[in-house]
Each structure stands twice: as structure tokens, then as C-alpha cells.
Amino acid sequence: MGGKKRHASDGSNLSRILLTWELGGNLGHVTRLRVLARALRKRGHEVTFALRDARSGAALLQQDGFRIVQAPVINVRAANLPPEPASYPEMLLHCGFADPAGLSASIHAWRRLFRKVNADLLVLDYAPTAMLAARGTGIPRVLLGTGFCSPPRVSPMPSIRPWEQIPEQRLETSERRALETANAALKAAGTLPLGAFHELLEAEEDFLTTFPELDHYPNRADGRYIGPIQDVETGHEPRWPTGERKKLFVYLRPSSPAFKPLSALLRDSDAATLWFAPGLPRGTAGELQSESLQFVAEPLDIARVADAAAAAICHAGHGTTAALLLRGIPLLLIPENIEQLLLARNVAALGVGAVITPSILHSGLRKAISNFLGNDLIAKRAKAFAAMYKDIDQRKHFTALIASIEYSALPRQIGQSSTRRF
């Protein structure tokens, strides 16, 4: 790093830490990383964000003053790929791991970024290409995210479509293709190859920000679960429709196929519905809402929402799902992608929620909502889930996470930073 080394108040060396997010939609990854970044900055470390969607990330982080850079993104779409990925390697085939030249270019772009910020440590949230680029650089790596972002270290990696009979040969063939592409790109970068595809995920630490019951890969043998990282410092106070009615919280985006049919049903329902719809124009909100349905476009304080809500409807994004379940709120989930669908299936299997499938959305939505709101057993099980985790000290887990991150950066702090290997 050069120059005189700065020190934290406890005497430990300070680090330049690069927080990365590469794949996945929406901003749940950034929200999780923001909580971590604030804590690291309080410890005196220099934090930079490399984000898939730097523009939206900047809007979310604008009050924090963090340095934000655009993460390298591969836009190449290879031919002859299964339209519905069945495993983690197949997903990556759709994200550059089927194109050696494109992946090689991305590795070089990531390494230029590592040099630019002079990173002592990488914290990676669903950032597989950054993981690949970091191999052979000597920069320590910490993985952070839900189970979906960190599959079990087996060959071949498991199917992510457990309701289908995916042939083993398909999993092996796809994984071999991704491995060959990765190794071709590593060779071009002068780095030793992977022996197996799961070696891509090798890191000093791997923290799963979920619970075993919500893990996208059930029955994981060696997961290090620390529970969800929640942002408790932001969110507006919820203002519910007036009246002595059961309160229902909804978090669905206007782009959701469920938005129009669900808003039509809830407009005149017996429930008092508060709907967080990010991106909904104010004029449209005024046209759709009623005495029993109120729309808001700004994030809400989820703890205060849960204090009043009897139930909730959302997409099955992990952050919102976990936050509400930890507060005993039963969930009706409308997943929009494979990651959300796997989580929704876990929630349904626990008996703490129900899932709206596309067929129900088009022909049985009214009945599904009525059955859900009237299901006392689901509500009871949701309360039981919250009670099971009520004594978990998440602050203790978070403190341990920060300590592990600082310890992982030590090799760079004590001299490796003076010898670049890329």
C-alpha cells in the first residue's frame, strides 16, 4: 500500500476494502453491504463499492458518501445454452462463463479495478467473475450472501430445480463447459487453472447471511450461518389506512405481473393494506388507492410495519422475507425468479407462508388471498418461527463478522501488499 500505516483505535492496521456486487437484481445486495460498510468505516477502514448497478446503488448510498465505481459487467450471450438454468454453473454460462474471450476481458477489467483501489481485501456478494479475477493476486477474499450465492462445494454442483428430474449428465456437461471457459481465461491471465469448478468459490471466509431453514440448498453440510444482515437505520414510519381492520403489508413492484390484479382485489377488500411500490408514479398511486389501500414509494421501517401487520405479501426477496419472518409475520409469496422461487418453497415447507404460482395468479388469486388471510395455522407457525430465533444475538454474529474481515486482511497489511502478483 505504501506510506506510513494508519491504525485503528484498538491498534490494528487499517485496510482498503472493496465491497463487490456483480449478479442478481434489485438492491438487496447493496443494502446488506451498506450495513457492513458503515461498520467498517466506523472502525477506520477505507471502503469502496464496486456495483453491478452503480447508478441505482449511488442513489441508495447517497447519504453515506462512500466511493462507488461501476463493476465490470459481461453482456455477451452465448448460443446453445439451456433457456432455464438448472445449476449454478449453468447460470454462469448465461453470464459470461461460456465465452473465453469475454471472460478474459472481464478478468483484466476486474484486476485493473483491484489495482485502482489498491484493495487489501475483497468482500464479494454474488460476484463470481470478481472471484475468478482475484485468483492468483494474493488479495484475501470474504464471501458474503445467501445460500443461493454460495453453492455447496461438490462436483457437479446440485440442481436448483429440485421439482424437475435433471439428468446428472446435464449437470456434469454444463459444469465442464463453465470450467473449461474459466480455465481458458485464467490461462490468458497467467494464473493456475481450477481443478474443479467449485474451487472458484475458495475464500478465507464464507458467511451465509441466512438461516438453515431458508437456505436455497437444503441439508448443507458445513454452512457458516450468521443470519440476515438487516438495515435498521433507514425506513419511514408506516401510515396505515384508517379503520379497525386486519392490516396487510404488500411489497411488490409495479412491474410485477401480480401488480394490477392484486391491486384491483385489495382496493375494496376488508383488509387495511399498506403497499410499498418502489417506482410507482404519484399520480398512478392516487388513481389506484382507496380508503382500504394506501401506496407508498419510499422504504418503510420494517420493524414498525411488523408491529402492526397481521400478514404480508411480497416477491420472496430474501431480505424482506427473513425480516418479516423474524417478526412472526405470515407470508404470501409471489416469486419472479428461480432464487425467489427456491426461497418461497422453503417458506411454504416450513408452513409459515404460501406461494402464488403463475396459474393461481391468472385464475385463483382471490381465493388464494382469502385462504391465506384466514389461515390461523400459518399465522401460528410464523409466530413459532420468530420465537425460535428470538434469543439469537445477531449483534454478536455481526461483531464476529467484522472481526473475521479484519483478520482476513492481515496478510496484506503485514507485507503482501508490497508484492503485486498480477
pLDDT per position as a tens digit, 107-126: 999 999 999 999 999 999 99
- pLDDT, tens digit (0-9, with 9 covering 90-100), for 72-107: 988 767 778 888 999 999 999 999 999 999 999 999
- 81-109 b/e with 16+ CB inside 10 Å = b? eeeebbbbbbbbbbbbbbbbebbbbbbbb
Question: How wide is the angle at C-alpha 232 spanned by C-alphas 240 and 151, nearest 5°?
Answer: 110
In the 8-state DSSP scheme, what is residue 272? E
Q: Are 71 and 127 in contact (CB under 8 A)?
A: yes
| Residues 6 or more apart in contact with residue 178 via CB below 8 angstroms | 89, 90, 92, 93, 97, 98, 197
Written as nine digits, the cell of 36 is 457492513
pLDDT at res. 420:
42
Q: Are 206 and 123 in contact (CB under 8 A)?
A: no
Could you give the C-alpha distances from 307 to 87, 238, 260, 295, in angstroms and in order? 38, 10, 27, 19
Q: In angstroms, how far is CA 72 from the centroid of its own chain?
A: 18
- Could you tell me the strand order of the sheet in which 46-51 lies? 67-70, 46-51, 16-21, 121-125, 141-145, 205-208
CATH of range 247-388; options 3.40.30.10, 3.40.50.2000, 3.40.50.720, 3.40.50.2300: 3.40.50.2000
The domain limits of the chain are 16-227+395-418, 247-388
pLDDT at res. 309:
96
- Does 16-227+395-418 match 247-388 in CATH topology? yes
For domain 16-227+395-418, the CATH architecture is: 3-Layer(aba) Sandwich (3.40)
pLDDT at res. 73:
86
Tell me the one-letter amino acid at 362.
Answer: H
pLDDT at res. 363:
85
**pTM greater than 0.75 (yes/no):** yes
Measured CA to CA, the distance from residue 215 to residue 222 in angstroms comes to: 12
pLDDT at res. 233:
60
pLDDT at res. 1:
36
pLDDT < 50 stretches in the chain: 1-11, 417-421
Q: Are 346 and 316 in contact (CB under 8 A)?
A: no
Could you give the C-alpha distances from 281 to 227, 267, 291, in angstroms and in order? 35, 17, 19
Measured CA to CA, the distance from residue 324 to residue 379 in angstroms comes to: 12
